[in-house]
């Protein structure tokens, strides 16, 4: 009997030769004719199976270097040992670093074209700063001053440039109102602009915290349902079209760094106290808030003010817990900037003979990558260092 899917076996044909004696010549001829047809069919079936097997796509062999389909992030870093002296930024050196960083980010040969590549002429640009930590530990005014000056020099209207953060008092005490006035641009706070009451643009979480004066639902705080939403500032929902976070490398006890994501999330909403003392909740809420349509989607690039890394003390000025890096970093991926900043803080903390205890490990940045907000794995962040 023929084996299905195989070529006719010559040995079977030879073994059947003695049967010729019991068949007539005519019948024997028909037998050999039929066997020939069957043999041809068997051969065709075999060829079809071979060709079909070759046509079916086979799974790719595992790569020796892991999954290459995962996204990567690009960061441009510029550094100059003369960028600071005794913790004070050198304005002219910082200006040169900003120009180099912007041109590298935009891949252009001059600063005007760099800005024209990054933003549109009709954009209302908001530089998001970290003001509560002051001008030494927070965002350094020299960095934002250089960014604004180069943007103005590129022809962008001054009325379409805003320096902002959450609280008016923090901006004022850190000198941001004075700097904005000297540059001819505006300085505004999220609370001053007010909170957009549209629930579709708010962040809702079934966790009720303590509402404070200034929160949109403060006057309804006796209502059982009050406090479940955090409303987004009207600065983002009605005014700014582009956001550029400029954040320091400043330790945060629960989030690792008071950087791009934490600063943007908590600086853009009201009713944020419910997250700030709960590390697990903070690690969930910050990425989810950043994923709102009016937040990270407006960020065209971020700047990490890595002139100085303060690895302990949070918003309190502690120069003895700092490391001077004299570096600025630029990237279209704010999460990658935060990942590098956390790494700076961890390294500095480990190297310090005075640092005690262990830094809190958070899932915030892993959660952010799960929401596809950027890259948090240092192995997939390509840092290009400028000359």
Report DSSP state, residue 195: B
Confidence of residue 26 (pLDDT cuts 50, 70, 90): very low
Measure the CA–CA gap between 124 and 169, rounded to whole angstroms.
23
Identify whether residues 295 and 153 lie together within a single domain: yes
Q: Are residues 46 and 87 in the same domain?
A: no
Selection from 237, 262, 289 nearest residue 126 by Cα: 237
Give the pLDDT confidence of 137-165 residue by residue, as tens digits: 999 999 999 999 999 999 999 999 999 99
Q: Is residue 274 part of a domain?
A: yes
Q: Which of 47-61, 138-152, 249-263, 281-295 has the lowest mean pLDDT?
A: 47-61
Looking at the fold, whether 17 and 159 belong to one and the same domain comes out as no
Domain shared by 37 and 157, yes or no: no
> Residue 216 in contact with residue 270, Cβ under 8 Å?
yes
- Tell me: do 22 and 135 sit in the same domain: no
What is the pTM (predicted TM-score) of this model?
Answer: 0.81
Q: What is the pLDDT of residue 51?
A: 40
> How is residue 307 written in tokens?
């002139």
Residue 59 lies in a domain: no
Tell me what the mean pLDDT of segment 252-260 comes to: 94
User: For 45, phi and psi rounded to 5 degrees?
Assistant: -65, -40
DSSP state of 45: H
Shared domain for 171 and 201, answered yes or no, is yes
Q: Say yes or no: 21 and 161 in one domain.
A: no
Is the pLDDT reported for residue 258 higher than 60? yes
* 62 domain-assigned: no
- State the average pLDDT over residues 35-41: 44
Residue 2 lies in a domain: no
Task: Determine the Cα–Cα distance for residues 371 and 351; give it in Å rounded to an integer.
Answer: 33
Query: Is 243 part of a structural domain of the chain?
Result: yes
Question: Is 67's pLDDT higher than 80?
Answer: no
Structure tokens at 163: 């320096």
Q: Is the pLDDT of residue 305 over 60?
A: yes
Q: How many domains does the chain have?
A: 2
Do 25 and 79 fall within a single domain?
A: no
Angle between helices 141-153 and 111-118 (to 10 degrees): 90
Helices within the chain (DSSP H only): 10-15, 25-55, 91-106, 111-118, 134-137, 141-153, 168-173, 176-183, 190-193, 234, 260-268, 273-276, 279-290, 334-351, 364-370
pLDDT of residue 43: 44
- Do 120 and 230 lie in one domain? The reply is yes
Flag whether 209 is in a domain: yes
Find the domain containing 78 and state its range. 73-385
Is 48 in the same domain as 78? no
- pLDDT value of position 353: 77
Same domain? 22 vs 95: no
Kindly tell me the burial class for residue 27, based on how many C-beta atoms sit within 10 Å of its own C-beta (0-12, 13-18, 19 or more). exposed
Between 69-83, 249-263, 307-321, the lowest mean confidence (pLDDT) is in 307-321
Whether 61 is covered by a domain: the verdict is no
Identify the pLDDT of residue 359.
72
| 3-class secondary structure, 131 | coil
CA distances from residue 328 to 61, 98, 194, 231 in whole angstroms, order as listed = 41, 7, 32, 32
**Res 66 pLDDT > 70:** no
On the question of pLDDT at 260 being above 70, the answer is yes
Is the residue at 329 inside a domain?
yes
Nearest by Cα to 217 from 343, 11, 225: 225
291 has a pLDDT exceeding 70: yes
Residue 226, SS3 per DSSP: coil
């Amino acid at each position: 009997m023929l084996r299905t899917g195989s070529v006719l076996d010559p040995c079977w044909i030879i073994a059947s030769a003695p049967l010729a004696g019991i068949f007539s010549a005519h019948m024997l001829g028909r037998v050999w004719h039929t066997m020939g047809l069957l043999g041809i069919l068997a051969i065709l079936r075999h060829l079809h199976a071979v060709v079909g097997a070759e046509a079916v796509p086979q799974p790719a062999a595992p790569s020796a270097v892991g999954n290459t389909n995962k996204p990567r992030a690009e960061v441009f870093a510029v550094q100059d040992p003369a960028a600071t002296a005794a913790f004070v930024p050198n304005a002219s050196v910082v200006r040169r670093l900003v120009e180099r960083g912007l041109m590298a980010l935009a891949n252009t040969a001059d600063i005007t074209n760099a800005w024209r590549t990054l933003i549109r002429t009709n954009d209302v640009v908001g530089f998001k700063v970290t003001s509560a930590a002051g001008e030494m530990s927070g965002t350094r005014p020299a960095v934002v001053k250089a960014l604004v000056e180069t943007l103005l020099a590129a022809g962008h209207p001054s009325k379409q440039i805003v320096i902002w953060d959450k609280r008016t008092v923090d901006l004022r005490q850190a000198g941001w109102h004075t700097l904005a006035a000297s540059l001819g641009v505006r300085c505004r706070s999220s609370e001053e602009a007010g909170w957009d009451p549209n629930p579709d643009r708010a962040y809702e979480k079934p966790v009720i915290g303590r509402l404070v004066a200034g929160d949109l639902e403060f006057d309804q705080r006796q209502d059982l349902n009050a406090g479940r939403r955090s409303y987004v500032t009207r600065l983002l929902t009605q005014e700014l079209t582009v956001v550029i976070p400029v954040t320091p490398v400043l330790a945060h006890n629960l989030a690792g760094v008071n950087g791009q994501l934490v600063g943007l999330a908590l600086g853009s909403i009201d009713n944020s106290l419910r997250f700030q003392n709960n590390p697990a909740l903070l690690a969930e809420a910050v990425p989810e808030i950043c994923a709102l349509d009016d937040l990270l989607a407006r960020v065209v690039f971020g700047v990490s003010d890595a002139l100085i890394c303060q690895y302990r003390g949070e918003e309190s000025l502690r120069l003895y817990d700092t490391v001077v890096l004299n570096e600025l970093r630029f990237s279209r991926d704010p999460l990658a900037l935060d990942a590098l900043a956390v790494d700076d803080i961890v390294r500095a903390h480990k190297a310090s003979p005075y640092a005690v205890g262990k830094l809190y490990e958070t899932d915030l940045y892993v959660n952010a990558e799960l929401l596809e907000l950027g890259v948090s794995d240092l192995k997939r962040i390509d840092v290009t260092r400028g000359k």
